Structure 1
Amino acid sequence: MEFSAHIRLEVRVTPADVGKRVSVRRVVEDAPEGEKFTDTVGVLTSWDNGVLLITRRSGESVQIPESALVAGKVVPSAPARRRGPAASYEELARVSARAWQPVEREMLGGWELRAAAGFTRRANSALPLGDPGLPLDRALRYVQDWYAARELPAYVQTATGAAGTQELLGAELEGRGWTREVTAELWTGALAPLGDLTDPGPGGTGPAGTGPAVNLSRTVDEAWLGGYGRKGLTEAALKVLGSGPSVWFATVPGAGAGAPAAIGRCVVDGRWAGFAAVEVDPSARRRGLATAVMAALARRALSEGASAAWLQVEKENAGARTLYAGMGFAAHHAYHHYRAPAVAEGPGGGQAGRRLDGDARGGSPDQYRSA
């Protein structure tokens, strides 16, 4: 509980606290006995016309009538302790962006506009990590025009739940009619324990044992793409997959000349190793192949001097979340992609442009997809 029953309840938040992290208690009308009050913790994103709007860590917005408040206070901007490596939001945002580099980019002040022919929103959205240098309405208009000229829908990627994230910007986008289409989380964990998870066995990347062989390559090949589950990838998509400071592709061979039993991708960037595209063929599930892929990639990243790990996973992917939690990962922050409202068609179709292909995808519990 944020408020103790032994202290006098007092509302100590005001409209001047917009932008700060707060904890408030309010009365719930018609609630059962013993559930008269409820607490909400998050960033106060607006206080207009007697209504507070609080954005929770997950990105969910809660409206609270001022008249229902019984207590409230400003709290630290982020939890004092987290599992996993210490890292700021900005550091992780930049590291994760370098793991999915666009084919084309342009800076608008502190906003990076990214395009890659529609392959993954992470390479086809504006990433705001500073002031755009323009009033917000003009900046968003520029973003929309920039993507319309490339026959792509306009997206802005924001984040919530950590110090320095963009709850206020998300609220502004929603107020202007932008729609949140995708929400996922970035998780972090220690890298060394991953390398000890399993022995890859003969032909793999570690000492001999009984585990599956995991082959590592610097380049994506037809075998790896056969396990990726996306057909007809464009040249731009292949460039995005191969982008990053130090990229590795893992493959567990399948039976005969068929598709691989499992695949994965890792981008090593300084102290960080980012894991993605960990997928297991349906016929080879529940044999520990996802773990073997993660372990082999972790050992390679450790050999290059990395010490921390990150990955991205959708909230609905219960199987992946269970797997990664068991490996020591924990959520650092949530991120969201907001799509611009429909407008009259610009060059090449404007907002009626093509649907983007994928992000931190969900799937069955055995697919363990993180990208």
Structure 2
Amino acid sequence: MEFTAGGRLEVHISPSDVGKRVSVRRVGDPGAGPERFTDTVGVLTSWTEGVLLITRRSGETVRIPESSLVAGKVVPAAPARRRGPAAGFEELARAQARAWQPLESEPLGEWTLRAANGFTRRANSVLALGDPGLPLGEALARVCSWYEDRGLPPYVQATTGAEGTQERLCAALEERGWRREVSTEVRIAGLAPVADLPVTAEVALSRTPDKAWLRRYQRVVEPAPHMLRVLGSGPSVWFATVAGDGGGEVPAAIGRCVVDGRWAGFMAVEVDPAYRRRGLATAVMAALAARALEEGASAAWLQVETDNDAARALYEGMGFAVHHLYHHFRAPGTGT
């Protein structure tokens, strides 16, 4: 915070700082607890009619009355990245999109409308990078119409938490009643250390998911052709399987990896509850990483939902650090 020579707090931000990362202190809400002040750090996404909107790294938007401010200043655009390969959020977002390719897509300015018969939000949401070429309200109306024509709920995917991410877009969506339905961490790591993780089981790799792999995959019971097309999409796709004790129709563990230039993306890593704590997820990751290294990749990414504490702890232990978060916003009036 900013102090005067006499030790008093001062506000050193104004509406002209919208779009910048700020740190503010305000008088605490009445009845909120013993603390007199509340601190908030995030991107200043709007300042109108005496109310500030600050979007935190997590995507949460905080409303702060201007009259409650006691201090504020602009801070560096993003916290220093402690570990992992250098990467911009847009490069990562595009690599992730190529790992979950839709069945059909259509440009809206620089945005991309994507649909895959409803299988996975990542292939059934707007990749909102750049300018849609229309005022936001008109662009969102086009989005709603496009998805309604396909019998799908309209979703927009937007990011927070890194330099250049889309806090202002997230706040604008919330202002228009779009509901943040899911938030996901994007984590990155060097690929070689993942390949060096201990392998405690035999891992079979294949180019296509067989019936056994699909039986373990939790998102479907009987995969339809469009689901198989999405799962098989990507520049270079690999599927990993660990058989259960004595064989059987359902594997003990599975995983999927998409190799794309320097990036290897890991997804669909699942372990039968009866086989947990045996290192099978680690074995799957290591085997896929070793194959990705052979294809020339050097960096790794994965996605994990913010409420999946067990998976977050697992990947943290493997050396994956949070790079940014993405959120799926659903249009108002389109179901629960």
TM-score by length of 2: 0.95
1:138 and 1:63 mapped to 2: Cα distance?
Answer: 25
Map Cα deviations across residues 128-178 of structure 1 (whole Å, 9 max, x no partner).
111111111111111111111111111100111111211111111111111
Write the letter of the residue equivalent to 1:141: A
Q: Does 1:148 find its partner at 2:148?
A: yes
Q: Which residue does 1:97 correspond to in 2?
A: 97
Alignment counterpart, residue 206 of structure 2, candidates 217, 223, 227: 217
1:5 and 1:163 mapped to 2: Cα distance?
Answer: 30
1:137-286 alignment, distance < 5 Å: 137-199=137-199, 211-229=200-218, 230-254=220-244, 255-286=246-277
Distance 1:26 1:146, change over 3 A: same
Q: Please tell me whether the aligned partners of residues 100 and 233 of structure 2 are also in contact (alpha carbons under 8 angstroms).
A: yes
Q: Does 1:321 find its partner at 2:305?
A: no
Unaligned runs of 5+ in 2: none
2:314 and 2:2 mapped to 1: Cα distance?
Answer: 34
1:27 and 1:182 mapped to 2: Cα distance?
Answer: 31
Q: Please tell me whether the aligned partners of residues 4 and 10 of structure 2 are also in contact (alpha carbons under 8 angstroms).
A: no
2:243 and 2:80 mapped to 1: Cα distance?
Answer: 44
Alignment counterpart, residue 293 of structure 1, candidates 281, 284, 288: 284
Q: Which residue does 2:59 correspond to in 1?
A: 59
Question: What displacement does 1:302 show?
Answer: 0.8
User: What is the aligned-residue identity percentage?
Assistant: 69
Q: Which residue does 2:116 correspond to in 1?
A: 116
1:81 and 1:256 mapped to 2: Cα distance?
Answer: 44
Q: Which residue does 1:311 correspond to in 2?
A: 302
Query: How many residues are treated as equivalent by the alignment?
Result: 332
Residue aligned with 2:9, SS: coil
1:80 and 1:8 mapped to 2: Cα distance?
Answer: 29
Residue aligned with 1:102, SS: coil
Q: Which residue does 1:207 correspond to in 2?
A: none
Q: Please tell me whether the aligned partners of residues 159 and 167 of structure 2 are also in contact (alpha carbons under 8 angstroms).
A: yes
Aligned CA-pair RMSD: 1.7
TM-score by length of 1: 0.86
Write the letter of the residue equivalent to 1:252: V
Map Cα deviations across residues 17-59 of structure 1 (whole Å, 9 max, x no partner).
11111111112145666x3222211011111221111000000
Structure 1's consecutive aligned runs of 4 or more residues displaced over 4 angstroms after TM superposition are 2-8, 29-33
